[in-house]
Structure 1
Amino acid sequence: MENNDANDLLIQLKQLVSENAGLRARVEEYEFNATVKEREMLVIKQQLGNNNELTSRLDNQVMEMELLHNFMDNPSTEKESVVNIQMELQNGQSVGFKHQLEDLRQQYNYLQILVTDLQTQVQDLKNKNLLLQQQGSRIAELESLLADAEQERDEWKALSALKE
């Protein structure tokens, strides 16, 4: 009967070792995926920054072209036209800043979502790591029990050999 218990413990130990290896592989995979996501976030941040800057520049250039076009179509006194153009450019710049601010808010919200997702993934990994540590402790305990059982079995064999 003790031999069956030792065999059962050995089977359980092998299963736990196998599960532990599988879980470690999954943790490595999750860590790799987290690294990939971080790199993707950096690339996206750079692209968003470049796109927003270009969009802002284009908007400003279009506005300047429209002002010049209006200036040419509506000739009035030069002084009034220059003042009007300056005022429209200032208004246009504030509109451009408003667009930039809105873009930055959207980027910030998007990044907050990404951070939340990453925090969730990190928490999942921490939970899985804790589970792995618990299983590792259980494996060590079972290995110790198995070693004790094997030693006891060997002692019983030695005693039975002496009796014979």
Structure 2
Amino acid sequence: MTKLNINGNDIHTELSADTPLLWLLRDELKLTATKFGCGLGQCGACTVHVNGQAVRSCITPIASLSGQTIETMEHVNTELMTALKRQWQVHNVPQCGYCQVGQLMTASSLLNQNQQPSIHEIEQAMSGNICRCGTYGRIKTAILQTAEQLATEIK
């Protein structure tokens, strides 16, 4: 049995220790905001936070997560995420929308660690997230605008 803390709840599962977190989230817990994309950890659609860090849930075995805090989009309801979502809308980032949860989870992890990232730091942090619609420029702008907005509100 594996014990995990997901979205503030202690979860006990009998799934095999090598089961990817994504399948526990989607199939067992019905937390479907986290998407299945490539299954190889290369597209970022399955991104969740583990101890605040962006992690690919499709390649992360549940056994490796014991004692760690896991958050999905269903639970991340912070001022930062609200600000990011607002800028996503302002800059018309979502097109098909499939990658957006992973994009937002990665962006929020970045801004939690670095409130004033450079373009290079944004590109580096977001490089593992694929957007089939090609809205990368809009994503970068939305992240920069969010950082600027939050910096202004803090002062």
Which TM-score bucket, shorter chain as reference? Answer: under 0.3
More strand by share: 2
Higher fraction of helix: 1
Structure number with the bigger relative contact order (C-alpha 8 A, sep ≥ 6) is 1
TM-score after normalising by structure 1: 0.20
